[in-house]
Chain A
Amino acid sequence: MTKHFLKVENLCKRYKSPKGEKDLTVFENVNFTIEKGEYVCIIGHSGCGKSTIINTLAGLDSPTEGVVLMDNREVAGPSLDRGMVFQNYSLLPWLSTLDNVRFGVRARWPNWSKEKITSHSREYLEMVGLKDVLNRKPSQLSGGMRQRVSIARAFATQPKLLLLDEPFGALDALTRGNIQEELIKIWSHMQQTIFMITHDVDEAILLADKILLMSNGPNAVVAESVVVDIARPRKRSEIIKDESYYHLRNYLVDFLVNRSDERPSGETEALPRSVNPISSFKKKPRPEPVVLNSSEKIEMTA
Chain B
Amino acid sequence: MQSIRSRSIILSLTILFVLLGIWELANQAPASSEALTEYELLMGGADQEARVPPPSAVIKLAIKEIGNPFYDAGPNDKGIGIQLGYSLYRVLTGFILAAIIAIPVGFVIGMSPLMYNALNPFIQVLRPISPLAWMPLALFIIKDSETSAIFVIFICSIWPMLINTAFGVAGVRKDWINVARTHELGALRTAFTVVLPAAAPTILTGMRISIGIAWLVIVAAEMLVGGTGIGYYVWNEWNNLDLTSVIFSILMIGMVGMLLDLGLNAAARLVQYQE
A-B contact pairs, 28 of them (CB 8 A): A59-B181, A59-B182, A60-B178, A60-B182, A78-B178, A78-B181, A80-B183, A80-B184, A82-B182, A83-B182, A84-B178, A86-B178, A86-B179, A90-B176, A90-B179, A92-B176, A92-B198, A93-B273, A94-B200, A94-B271, A94-B273, A103-B183, A107-B183, A107-B185, A137-B273, A139-B273, A139-B275, A157-B183
Interface check B92, CB cutoff 8 A: no
Q: How far is the CB of A157 from chain B (nearest CB, A)?
A: 8
Q: How far is the CB of B175 from chain A (nearest CB, A)?
A: 4
**Is the Cβ of B271 less than 8 Å from the Cβ of A58?**
no
Chain B residue nearest in CB terms to A55: B178
A103 touches B184 (CB 8 A): no
B178, B182, B193, B271, most chain A CB atoms within 10 A: B182
Cβ of B227 within 8 Å of any chain A Cβ, yes or no, is: no
Residues of A within 8 A of B179 (CB): 86, 90, 92
Q: Please list the residues of chain B having a beta carbon within 8 angstroms of any beta carbon in chain A.
A: 175-176, 178-179, 181-185, 193-194, 197-198, 200, 271, 273-275
When distances are taken between beta carbons in the complex, the residues of chain A under 8 Å from B200 are 94
**In the complex the two chains form, what is the Cα distance from A34 to B259 in whole Å?**
62
Query: B271 — which chain A residues lie within 8 A by C-beta?
Result: 94
CB A76 to nearest CB in B, in angstroms, measures 13
Q: How far is the CA of A60 from the CA of B182 in the complex (A)?
A: 8
Question: Could you say which residues of chain B place their CB within 8 Å of the CB of A157?
Answer: 183
A227 to B273, CA, bound (A): 45
Give the distance in Å from the alpha carbon of A86 to the alpha carbon of B183 in the complex.
13
Please name the residue on chain A nearest to B272 by beta carbon: A94
Nearest-neighbour CB distance to chain A for B187, whole angstroms, equals 13
Inter-chain contact B181/A60, CB cutoff 8 Å: yes
Q: Specify the chain B residue showing the minimal Cβ separation from A154.
A: B182
- Contact B197 A78, beta carbon cutoff 8 Å: no
Knowing A84-B178, A86-B178, A92-B179, the reply to whether A78 touches B184 (Cβ < 8 A) is yes
Nearest first, the 6 closest Cβ-Cβ pairs linking A and B are A139-B274, A107-B183, A94-B273, A90-B175, A78-B181, A93-B273
Q: Does A88 contact B (CB under 8 A)?
A: yes
Chain A residue at smallest Cβ distance from B273 = A94
Picked from A88, A104, A107, the residue with its CB within 8 Å of the CB of B175 is: A88
CB within 8 Å: A-B pair count: 53
Shortest beta-carbon distance from A169 to chain B in Å: 14
A79 at the interface (CB under 8 A from B): yes
- List residues 132-180 of chain A with CB under 8 A from any CB of chain B: 137, 139, 157
On chain B, the residues within 8 Å of A59 by CB distance are: 181-182
A56 to chain B, nearest CB (A): 13
Most buried by A among B183, B197, B275: B183
Q: Which residues of A contact B (CB under 8 A)?
A: 58-60, 78-80, 82-84, 86, 88, 90, 92-94, 103-104, 107-108, 137, 139, 157
17 new A-B contacts, CB < 8 A, other than A80-B184, A88-B175, A103-B183, are: A59-B182, A60-B178, A60-B181, A78-B181, A79-B184, A83-B182, A90-B175, A90-B176, A90-B178, A93-B274, A94-B198, A94-B200, A94-B273, A104-B183, A107-B185, A108-B183, A139-B274
Q: How far is the CA of A56 from the CA of B55 in the complex (A)?
A: 72
**CB within 8 A of B197: which of A60, A82, A94?**
A94
B30 to chain A, nearest CB (A): 64
Best-surrounded residue of A58, A84, A94, A137 (most CB of chain B within 10 A) = A94
Contacts of B275 in A (CB 8 A): 93, 139
Task: Tell me, rounded to whole Å, the shortest Cβ–Cβ distance linking B255 to chain A.
Answer: 33
Complex CA gap A90/B185 in Å reads 16
What's the Cα separation between A234 and B218 when bound, in Å? Answer: 72
- Cα-based distance from A88 to B178 in the complex (angstroms): 12
A37 to B91 alpha-carbon distance, docked (Å)? 63
What chain B residues lie within 8 Å of A92 (beta carbons)? 176, 179, 194, 197-198
Q: List, in ascending order, chain A residues with CB within 8 A of B273's CB.
A: 93-94, 137, 139
- Shortest distance between the CB of B149 and any CB in chain A (Å): 37
**Chain B residues positioned under 8 Å from A108 (CB to CB):** 183
User: What residues on B are CB-neighbors of A84 within 8 Å?
Assistant: 178, 182
- With A80-B183, A94-B197, A94-B198 known to touch, is A137 a contact of B175 (CB < 8 Å)? no
A248 CB to nearest B CB, Å: 33
* Complex-state Cα separation, A92 to B193, whole angstroms: 10
Q: Give CA–CA (A103, B184) in the complex, Å.
A: 12
B274 to chain A, nearest CB (A): 4
The chain A residue sitting closest to B179, CB to CB, is A90
Task: Return B275 CB to nearest CB of chain A, in Å.
Answer: 5
- Give the CA-CA distance A84 to B176 in the complex, in Å: 12
**Which of chain A's residues has its CB closest to B201's CB?**
A94
Complex Cα spacing A97 to B152, Å: 45
* Residue of B178, B179, B181, B275 with most chain A CB atoms under a 10 A cut-off: B179
- Which among A58, A84, A92, A108 has the highest number of chain B CB atoms within 10 Å? A92
Cα A92 to Cα B198 in complex, Å, equals 8
Nearest chain B residue, comparing its CB with the CB of A60: B178
Which residues from chain A contact B182 at a C-beta distance below 8 Å? 58-60, 78-80, 82-84
Chain A nearest CB, measured from B272 CB (Å) = 9
Among residues of A, the one whose C-beta sits closest to the C-beta of B200 is A94
Residues in B neighbouring A139, C-beta threshold 8 A: 273-275
CB distance from B199 to the nearest CB of A (A): 11
